[in-house]
Amino acid sequence: MNANGILYVRTGDDTVEIPTAGYTVFQYLSLDPNGSELFAIASGPKRASSVISIDLSNKDFPLKVHRESRDSAEIDALEISEPEEIVFNSDGVTVSGYFYPPKNSAYSAPPGSLPPVLLLGHSGPTAPAQDSLDFKKQFFTSRGVAVFDVNYRGSTGFGTDFRRMLYKNCGIVDRNDVLNGAKALIEQGRVDADKVVISGSSAGGYLLLSCLISPDNIIKAAVSIYGVADLLALDEDTHKLEQYYNEMLIGKYPEEAAVYQERSPIYHIDKIETPIAFLHGKEDTVVPVKQSITMYEKISARGITTALQLYDGEGHGFRSGDVIKASTEATFYFLMKAVGIEPSIQSDLEIVNSKF
């Protein structure tokens, strides 16, 4: 399997591509005892996670779907925005991302207008952005917002050299890739330059904060979801399973504590002029909620438009269906308000220092 989710099988001296009919992401691959049938959990742009098998003994490689987490016929009846992979240049490096255009046949944009775009910074930060069905993205595309999910330097699935470009450079090359990706979309005439917004969780929250303190920032509004703001505090609080992760991505601690501080957005509040909201679970043991509270308080004191929403009983990664719904709606509500678009939904998010 390569970064694009293509399956191959070797037959003698030949390597043959296996047709997978709408499935592009494969996990937990397993062969039967005879090696003649491949099983996997698969998904795709219009396919939810499914248990599939492929008959390797048949030259046509027929694919069988055993169980779907959501019925494909039901999905096919929906208006799903399917992504296009956009390739662009960032600091001389080829980077890509999945671009989802707005899609809703019940509405049309004013003639000559371009859509807002939501930039996404995936978590990890070495995880990949994938093109499998994600209804959070569809929530935005169905409401007139394009989505750009960037596989910045460090993302898994593009080779060792690409992944290692993030080592010691976290908060720099990933930030540049997201901002350069947005600029590429603007140059191609795909999105409105005045309505570039961003959201990210955990490491994705740190990424967006790094964008906001960059002198090259072009982002107009942001929502950080249990995002990292203080690398120094994170290194002290992180669990043992990731105790060397920061050393690989940023530098050796405490020897390079100055690097941690330089790249921590919490020490550069004075550089943030972009409206930003913070959403965080009160029981988060990975990124303490205090980081978002401190950011909110300091940004609010400077008169910048901001908001803070804390969720009872939630940790690092929201689990409750009600909280997932509320946080998604709050994200959309804040971002649209910040760029001058009246949201199609309401939220109980309390915005302070509002300029709109």
pLDDT tens-digit readout, 187-227: 999 999 999 999 999 999 999 999 999 999 999 999 999 99
CA distances from 37 to 53, 117, 200, 289 (A): 7, 42, 38, 47
CA distances from 237 to 241, 287, 291 (A): 12, 8, 11
119: left (phi over 0), alpha (psi -120 to 50) or beta: beta
Q: What is the mean pLDDT of residues 70-93?
A: 97
- What homologous superfamily is domain 84-352 in, according to CATH? Alpha/Beta hydrolase fold, catalytic domain (3.40.50.1820)
pLDDT digit string (tens) for 338-355? 999 999 999 999 999 998
What pLDDT was estimated at residue 13? 83
3 pLDDT higher than 70:
no
| Calculated CA dihedral for residues 2, 3, 7, 11, nearest 10 degrees | -10
Q: How far is CA 184 from the centre of its chain?
A: 18
Q: What is the mean pLDDT of residues 147-161?
A: 96
Give all strands of the β-sheet with 63-68 in edge-to-edge order: 25-31, 37-44, 47-55, 63-68
First to last CA, the chain: 48
Parallel/antiparallel/unpaired status of strands 221-225 and 196-201: parallel
What pLDDT was estimated at residue 75? 97
- Out of 134-143, 192-201, 235-244, pick the least confident: 235-244
Question: What radius of gyration do the chain's Cα atoms show?
Answer: 21
328 pLDDT higher than 60:
yes
Q: What is the mean pLDDT of residues 98-119?
A: 96
Ranges of CATH 3.40.50.1820 domains, the chain? 84-352
Mean pLDDT (the chain, rounded):
94
pTM of the model: 0.95
* Pick from 346, 250, 252, 246: nearest CA to 287: 246
What pLDDT was estimated at residue 1? 33
110 pLDDT higher than 80:
yes
Q: Is 204 helix (H, G, I), strand (E, B) or coil?
A: helix
Q: Predicted confidence band at 294 (pLDDT cuts at 50, 70, 90)?
A: very high
Q: Return the percentage of the chain with pLDDT > 90, whole number.
A: 88
The rounded distance, in Å, linking the Cα atoms of 55 and 117 is 41
Q: Predicted confidence band at 241 (pLDDT cuts at 50, 70, 90)?
A: low
pLDDT digit string (tens) for 12-53? 788 999 999 899 999 999 999 998 999 999 999 999 999 999
- Angle formed at CA 178 by CA 165 and CA 133, multiple of 5 degrees: 100
239 pLDDT higher than 60:
no
Q: Return the percentage of the chain with pLDDT > 70, whole number.
A: 97
CB 296 within 8 A of CB 326: no
Q: What is the mean pLDDT of residues 264-272?
A: 97
Residue position matching structure tokens 């910074």: 121
Q: Predicted confidence band at 182 (pLDDT cuts at 50, 70, 90)?
A: very high
CB 266 within 8 A of CB 231: no
Q: Enter the tokens of residue 198.
A: 């961003």
